[in-house]
Structures are given as structure tokens and as C-alpha cells.
Amino acid sequence: MLSQKHIDTVKATIPLLASAGPAITEHFYKRMFKHNPELNDVFNMTNQKTGRQPAALFNAIAAYATHIDNLEVLTSAVMRIAHKHTSFNIQPDQYDIVGHHLIETLRELAPEAFTQDVEEAWVAAYGQLAEIFIKVEGDLYEKNAAETGGWKDFRQFRVASKTPESELVTSFVLEPVDGKAVIDYTPGQYLGIKVHPKGNQYEEIRQYSLSTTANGKSYRISVKREGSDDMAGVMSNYLHDHINVGDIVEAMPPAGDFIFEDKAKPVVLISGGVGLTPMQAMLDTFAKQGYRQPISYLHACAHEGQHSFKAHVSSVKAQLPQLSVHTWYERAKETEEGVYEGNMQLADIQDELPLSEGDFYLCGPVGFMMFVKQQLLTLGVEADRIHYELFGPHQDV
């Protein structure tokens, strides 16, 4: 039970956390993987090597300590993390492992400051946090299992088709091996996909946005090939080079809180690179449902050869006459109406955007989203009308 004394003690350790920074979580992960190597099959080792996961965990711990007496502030963050955890099939007993190594990390890095009172406070605080996540994730697991076509744990899917969408992006249609229905999803959500690449010591789990509207029978993901010498390319290159029609992968039910919410208002979809994948699900759903509000589709990529779904978006435009399309290429052979060269500059088309009432959905590289979000704020769009999705550990943009 978390007491006021525990709360006061945890908040008093915030300066200690701040002074140590991500070194705490870096030490924590090294310790945990040394003593519990089986968790290498769960965690994304690429995000460990790049430092993104330790940084994300540190920010989460610091936020929890700061708001431990007002956890409602963290509700949206808890839901976002819980959705991601369900795509990895995180289980309650794994929280015990994490908690043990977190406490031991604090003890090892700050032995003088880690008194008995501090230890008791952090054990109680972590216990409260674990209970919250276990409850939220348990509810998500139960909800997914109860839905038509739903399931628990990883389920086998067979690759029904494999289609190049551009120089870098390929789509995979996945059908359940058991031949039964699959759970519907909300546009913007993703699948947790698990494979064991040949020659790889551990299994790999990655999240890929669902890139078309739900049909109850199959799923489609669209995967960008990362550089072959890039740590992030382990899974994507394996899918591109070795997973073919007829092969089996495993998947968790759809997850994610970056979803389209119909507020009967104009919608602007803004993407950079492979960030257009969840936007395809939204566009296809708009076409299927006959969405009547104005829709703007803005996309940026390196050049036309990397422009995925170009023809498909044109076909959707024929079904949705209120859809306007604007494209930015870093390098353009030639420009035409609605096509621009250079970085995305919203001021150039601000008269065509619903700046005072629309909802703006962003997805793409972090730098791209920060760049676009600042433009939107400068043009007068309120922050609560700007929604975004990150591929990988969460961070603010």
C-alpha cells in the first residue's frame, strides 16, 4: 500500500534521478538481460543499442515519480504503453522481474542515498505502477479475446500475398492459419509481428501499422526496408528477403491508441516516408464508409521512386471528391499541380487547410513530425487537435 510517506520519499528522489539521467535505465537493462537473457526474445535489441528504449524508460520513470500523487495526468501515457505491451504479449510475472532489477539498479548506482526508507518507498511505488499496467493490459487482453475473431497470445498467420509498393516498402497480406475470422481494428492501429530470423540468436518482435481498412478475414502490413547495415534493419530486411507467400509469422491482436476519431470535422493526414501506412487505413476506411467531411492528404518522401501508394491514393480520390492531395519530394524530376520540391511547407497551402477546426494526424520520422507540428502551432492549430504516432519507443514531439 502506497502511503503519503512513500509518496514524499519518491518525490524527494527526483533530483537523484535527474542527476543520474538515462544511465540508470542503461544499467538496468544491462543487468536484466544478463540475469534474465530470455527477455532478449521480447525486447527490441535495436532500440537498446540506439539508446531509444533506455531514454524512453527513464522519461517514464521520471514522469511517474513527478506525478505519483496525481496519476490521472499520466492516463494517456499509461494507455499508450499498455497497448504497446500487449503487442509484445507482456505478462504479469515479467513485471516482477523488471521490478527486482529496477530496485537493484537503484541500490547499485546510489548505495549511500538508497536507504531502507527509499527502498520501501520505491518498492511500494513500483508495485502500484505494476498493478496499474497489469490491470489495464489484462483488460485489453480480455477485450481482444472476447471480440469476434479475437484471440489471446501469439497466433499463426500465413503470408497470402507480398506486393512492392515502392522502392523501399512492401505490403504483406496475412491470413490466419486456422482459417477463422480475425478481430476488426480502428484505423491507425498496428500489429505486433514475431519471427525468428535464421541465424539470429533471438526471436524478433516488431510493430507494423495496419495499412488498409478492416475486413474481418485478413490483415495487411506495409514494411519499409531499412539499411542492410542499420541495426534497425534486422527485421525489415528479413521480411523483405526471406518471408514469402506461404510462410508463417505470428501476430498479436491489433493494438495502439493512435486512432481516427470521427468528430464530424475536416481531417488532415500528414505523413513522411513510411509514416503513410496508418494513413492508408484511414483513407480506405473513409472511402468504405463514405466519409463526407473535407479530407487533406499530405505526404513527403525523398523522391517519386519512394512514393508508396501513389496510384492507390489517386483511386481513392475518385471515390472521395472532397479529398485534396499534396506531395513533397526532396528531389523532384519535375513538379506538377499538387507536387512540390523540398521540405513540406504548410504555409504554402494554408488557405486550403482547415486550420481553425480540423484534426491533424501525423506519422513519420521524429524530426519530420517536430518540424510539421511547429508549423501547425505557428499557423494557429491548437495542440489538442494534433495527433501523432511514433514507430518505436514513445517520446514527445
Instruction: Exactly one of 29, 64, 95, 291 is catalytic; name it.
Output: 95
| Residue 388 is among the residues annotated as catalytic for this protein | no
CA-CA distance, 160 to 35, in Å (whole number)?
40
Is 54 labeled as ligand-binding? no
Please give the full DSSP string across 281-346, using - where no structure is assigned.
HHHHHHHHHT--S-EEEEEEESSGGG-TTHHHHHHHHHH-TTEEEEEEESS-SS--TTEEESS--G
| Residue 297 is among the residues annotated as catalytic for this protein | no
Is 208 labeled as ligand-binding? yes
Is 53 labeled as ligand-binding? no
Is 385 labeled as ligand-binding? no
Is 256 labeled as ligand-binding? no
Instruction: Exactly one of 29, 64, 126, 137 is catalytic; name it.
Output: 137
Is 105 labeled as ligand-binding? no
Please give the full DSSP string across 150-180, using - where no structure is assigned.
--SS-EEEEEEEEEE-SSSEEEEEEEETT--
Is 213 labeled as ligand-binding? no
| Contacts of residue 336, Cβ cutoff 8 Å, sequence gap at least 6 | none
CA-CA distance, 83 to 42, in Å (whole number)?
15
The strand order across the sheet containing 155-164 reads: 204-209, 190-195, 248-251, 155-164, 169-176, 219-224
Is 273 labeled as ligand-binding? yes
Is 340 labeled as ligand-binding? no
Is 48 labeled as ligand-binding? no
Is 19 labeled as ligand-binding? no
Q: Which residues are annotated as a binding site for heme b?
A: 85
Annotated binding site for NADP(+): 273-278
Just list the catalytic residues. Answer: 95, 137
Q: Annotated binding site: which residue ranges?
A: 85, 190, 206-209, 273-278, 390-393
Q: What residues are designated binding site for FAD?
A: 190, 206-209, 390-393
